[in-house]
Amino acid sequence: MTTLTRASPTEPEPGTGADMAGMAGRYQSDHHDTRNAAWLGLALGVTFTVSFATGLLSHLIQHPFAGFEWLARPAGLYRVTQGLHIATGTAAIPLLVAKLWVVAPQFWGKPVVRNFAHGVERAMLFPLVGGSAFLLVTGTFNTFHFYPWGFFFPTGHYWAAWITIGGLVGHIGAKAGVTWAALRHGDPSKGELAGQASHGSRRWFLSSVAVGSGALTVATVGQTWRPLRSLSVLAPRDPIAGPQGIPVNRSASSAGITKAKVGDAWRLRVHGRGLDQPMEMTLADLRGLPQHHATLPISCVEGWSASATWRGVRVRDLLDHVGAPPGATVRVGSIQKGSRYRQSDLNRAQAGDPDTLLALELNGETLALDHGFPIRLIGPNRPGVQQTKWLNEVEVT
């Protein structure tokens, strides 16, 4: 690596400003360079855009506005989009650290505000930098079920995403010209950074950041992408570790579910619109209905996923059995109390899909209590949070 021989702080330096003296004078590396900033900015732009789009989609699926119907097919699509959400967010962590380091001298540039446009540009760095750091930290903590804060994670993460993306759009608007020029090998001195890394040295620096980002991603993405499972040393989840070969996100005991609550007295209550009267079904009643297999993943919003073979009663068969009107939508409810994940909704496509099951078996065995015994919902292309366990209620809505 070459080291920049920088003018002494008392010697005015065009472009960077003599006034940058103080703090900025501390940045001696030649990597505080406009092309480094441009390449890292580009990589961050891509990873943040993918993570934002997939995160927004996940939010929309879980909180659909009127008229939005998430499709039941392709069955594994959500597994891919949510895997991408976490993988791109993870990849962005080293990129963001590197980018902040590269542009650090600019934070101390003086005058703090040169003109109105510059003031706006600088002000937008607060939502952008603060929001980005917030998203990556809270997102990572969430994958580890670690919540050292007082707010509800999905809400905080969701609104921070809008604030950050607002800052990002503004930042891209402000920096598009200089970034483009730097990437096209225009005159990098047009940027505000004083560093001038040599071509080889920049290549080395950017490759190191890319390797760091790639390594972190490879070390975690095996939680959802099986071929990389053995390399997945930093992932919070091993996708085959758990009862019946599947991880458990909320165990029966932590949800207050005991064997007694799902014993012989357990009934599935089927009620709702278009039904003359509520029906109560026993486990034997459900076993008496036609049983079907489906191989479907649990795709947790936290980024792990695992595929399994489920066996049980088709929701649409149950709807026919109780005489529900065609095209019905459904809400399922759990015996679990006091959790926002104790119920979930099925739109028409999901309720009518032949693979949407009230599962009684997992990988050839009776469902483990931790996986939702006596029955759980499992359907194609649904977030894990919507694969409700320990059901005792099916409501036609």
Ligand X SMILES: Nc1nc2c(c(=O)[nH]1)N[C@H]1C(S)=C(S)[C@@H](COP(=O)(O)O)O[C@H]1N2
> What is the binding site for ligand X (CB under 6 A)?
246-250, 255, 298, 300, 334, 336, 339, 341-342, 371-372, 384-385, 387-390
Residue 388 C-beta: closest distance to ligand X, Å: 4
Residue 260 C-beta: closest distance to ligand X, Å: 17
Of the candidate residues 94, 191, 303, 384, the single one contacting Mo ion (CB under 5 A)? 384
Q: Please report, for residues 27, 136, 207, 251, 341, the alpha-carbon distance to residue 193 in angstroms, rounded to integers and kept in the order given.
A: 10, 26, 20, 52, 49
Distance CA 375, CA 200 (A): 61
Phi and psi, residue 229, nearest 5°: -55, -40
250 binds, among ligand X, Mo ion, none (CB under 5 to 8 A by kind): ligand X
- Residue 44, Cα to own-chain centre: how many angstroms? 16
389 binds, among Mo ion, ligand X, none (CB under 5 to 8 A by kind): ligand X
Options 21-29, 166-174, 184-192, 380-388: segment touching Mo ion (CB under 5 A) = 380-388
Number of residue whose CB is nearest Mo ion: 300
34 binds, among Mo ion, ligand X, none (CB under 5 to 8 A by kind): none
191 binds, among Mo ion, ligand X, none (CB under 5 to 8 A by kind): none
Is residue 42 classed exposed, middle or buried when 0-12, 13-18 and 19+ CB atoms within 10 A define those classes? middle
Residue 27 C-beta: closest distance to ligand X, Å: 45
Of the candidate residues 37, 96, 197, 300, the single one contacting Mo ion (CB under 5 A)? 300
Is residue 158 classed exposed, middle or buried when 0-12, 13-18 and 19+ CB atoms within 10 A define those classes? middle
Options 26-34, 80-88, 233-241, 295-303: segment touching Mo ion (CB under 5 A) = 295-303
In sequence order, the 6+-apart residues with CB closer than 8 A to the CB of 122 are 112, 113
| Residue 27 or 304 having the CB closest to ligand X | 304
| Residue 95 or 246 having the CB closest to ligand X | 246
Alpha helices (H) along 184-255: 199-221
390 binds, among ligand X, Mo ion, none (CB under 5 to 8 A by kind): ligand X
Residue 374 C-beta: closest distance to ligand X, Å: 13
Residue 301 C-beta: closest distance to Mo ion, Å: 5
Distance CA 99, CA 334 (A): 46
Which residues 222-251 are close enough to bind Mo ion by CB under 5 A?
249
31 binds, among ligand X, Mo ion, none (CB under 5 to 8 A by kind): none
Is residue 276 classed exposed, middle or buried when 0-12, 13-18 and 19+ CB atoms within 10 A define those classes? exposed
Q: In the chain, what's the furthest Cα-to-Cα distance?
A: 88
371 binds, among ligand X, Mo ion, none (CB under 5 to 8 A by kind): ligand X
Q: What share of the chain is helix, strand, coil (3-state, %, to 5)?
A: 45, 15, 40
Residue 211 C-beta: closest distance to ligand X, Å: 32
Number of residue whose CB is nearest ligand X: 384
Instruction: Choose among 81, 143, 144: nearest CA to 382.
Output: 81
Instruction: Choose among 329, 323, 317: nearest CA to 278.
Output: 323
State the DSSP string of 293-305: EEEEEEE-TTS-E
| Residue 232 or 334 having the CB closest to ligand X | 334
Q: Does 135 bind Mo ion (CB under 5 A)?
A: no
- Sign of the dihedral through C-alpha 231, 221, 131, 150: negative
| Residue 213 or 223 having the CB closest to ligand X | 223
Which tokens is 180 given? Answer: 């483009």
Residue 297 C-beta: closest distance to Mo ion, Å: 12
Residue 348 C-beta: closest distance to ligand X, Å: 22
Binding-site ranges for Mo ion (CB under 5 A): 249, 300, 384-385
